[in-house]
Chains A and B, each alone.
Chain A
């Protein structure tokens, strides 16, 4: 049965693993150069300010490849679900070959167990290889962009660690399940894609923030950590950017009594925080003066941030992978039930 599974899986496996091998080759060739450039640049930059300028420039030079690689890693599970999962059983149903293979001296349950086992493992291996290669290649960039794109934030989280493996198992099981329900290859592929992308969006939006209770902290608003500053007529507000290396879920301003406030008193906007005159050379306006932040602190306004700190990365990775593993097993169980009872 393993032989038959591998034989039928040959072309699809060759396409995906071939693509990964090509990607791996490109990364293997370009990776050392990036690593060298980063480390020699760091060694040469000297002062702290120069170094932070260097890392920002270094990251900007490579950010499109960095982003593209993250997107590729994130799309591997989807590709597996659509091209490995959905057609797995629909192809048999459409060509009638399930009637041939289900009447060999092997039960349907065992047939499905081998198929799900072998290809499910291949799916997890493919995602694992992709994430391994991408993490290795992106190492210097991850370090350089530690402040701007911490690996715990949504886009990076799905392309690092072990969750891509969980996603791959889930996408594959989802594809097979949709396949046994819909029974036709093309609709099954389309539905699998839509559902999987929806899950990929829903997960960081609604579920991941609560997998582990987030932390809440209040921080003074300073010239270092302020984010958006809004000055609209009399309304004045300052957002804080949150904790470095963390995933900020929400940031708001609280007054001295800890109450959430939208706007700060207009006295600030008219006084120390009044916008500076446009700079003479036409460049972007400067931020508020230090006096503004001093005034804010004096009035007792602070930033309140709800966030997943950077050290929640691995616990969250394990929690999410565990969740997807459980979902995959549930879907696989359903496939067994449905294949035994409802397919013919």
Chain B
């Protein structure tokens, strides 16, 4: 299977601050990829690098085998719905579709018109007068109708109410299936992505914490609950993602490919939300642990 997005040591620096660093990814084709992380983690930076809005300060990135935004062909292959779903406030919906038709050789006018009709939008309506949900739908329509191979969306539902959120994601899923699109979608909420993603990237503090197939990730992560003990005493193949302790009990979220034999543990599976939260919560520092004893 060929890769949709390959990054090698990718980094982007703004002034002295690294907004993204040491990012190595290999996302296979045909996936719905969820990019999760808290605000300011570097999600937008990564996506802007992927569509070529910005250039990397370190490392390299290839999208669908090409350098991002390197030319019209590359731009045509990648659809982008940017943060806050920008549209031209002064232009009508019909004019947005005309814009898409004029600027994209692969434009699917029938698809675009049909989507606008299905959404119940009036083509003569100015984009500036649309609700947030309608504007997001318009931006999505522009992204889909250019017939890309990969569609990238940066927090498209962040500003939407729950109903508009669900409608948007539903529309996105349908389009992804109908057009066999690869999709990369970012959000700071796992719940948005849980139902649709089959590949997950967790980005915290400008670094990729974990990336992989959702099913494989869920199979490899376990919640271990048992009598209190130190993380260092766990077997070497069990990588501790997060830990929490009470006076007598310890809870670890570990990642391991092997089975867990220790009978002292109650082993539980974890959901996607817990998994992401485990990576987002900073592990307690050792000195604090020592102090408790």
Contact = CB atoms under 8 A, between A and B. Distances in A.
B270 to A, nearest CB: 36
Contacts of A97: 86-88
Given A100-B82, A103-B80, A104-B104, A8 B88 contact: yes
Nearest to A95: B86
Interface in A81-118: 95-97, 99-108, 110
A208 B99 CA distance: 45
A81 B48 CA distance: 31
B97 interface: no
Contacts of B89: 95
Interface residues of B, number: 35
Interface stretch (B51-59, B170-178, B252-260): B51-59
B75 A106 contact: yes
Given A3-B102, A4-B99, A100-B142, A105 B53 contact: no
A interface residue count range (under 10 / 10 to 19 / 20 to 34 / 35 or more) = 20 to 34
Contact of B103 (A8, A105, A344): A105
B53 A99 contact: yes
Contact of A100 (B69, B76, B139): B139
B75 to A, nearest CB: 5
A104 B54 contact: no
B277 interface: no
A105 B106 CA distance: 9
B105 A105 contact: yes
Contacts of B84: 96
Contact of B53 (A3, A7, A8, A344): A344
A106 B103 contact: yes
Interface string B71-82: 111011011101
B53 A107 contact: no
A55 to B, nearest CB: 52
Interface string B82-99: 111011111100010011
Contact of A105 (B48, B88, B104): B104
Contact of B72 (A106, A341, A344): A106
A84 B55 CA distance: 29
B102 A103 contact: no
A96 B78 contact: no
Contacts of B146: 104-105
A100 B86 contact: yes
A97 B139 CA distance: 11
Interface in A290-344: 341, 344
Interface centre among A1, A95, A108 (most CB of B within 10 A): A95
B34 interface: no
B100 interface: yes
Contacts of A110: 72
Given A100-B142, A344-B48, A107 B72 contact: yes
Interface of B: 48, 51, 53-55, 69, 71-73, 75-76, 78-80, 82-84, 86-91, 95, 98-100, 102-106, 139, 142, 146
Interface of A: 1, 3-4, 7-8, 95-97, 99-108, 110, 341, 344
Closest 9 CB pairs of A and B: A99-B82, A104-B103, A96-B86, A105-B76, A103-B80, A344-B54, A105-B104, A105-B75, A97-B86
16 contacts: A3-B102, A4-B102, A4-B103, A7-B91, A8-B88, A97-B86, A100-B82, A100-B86, A101-B103, A103-B53, A103-B75, A104-B75, A104-B146, A105-B72, A105-B103, A110-B72
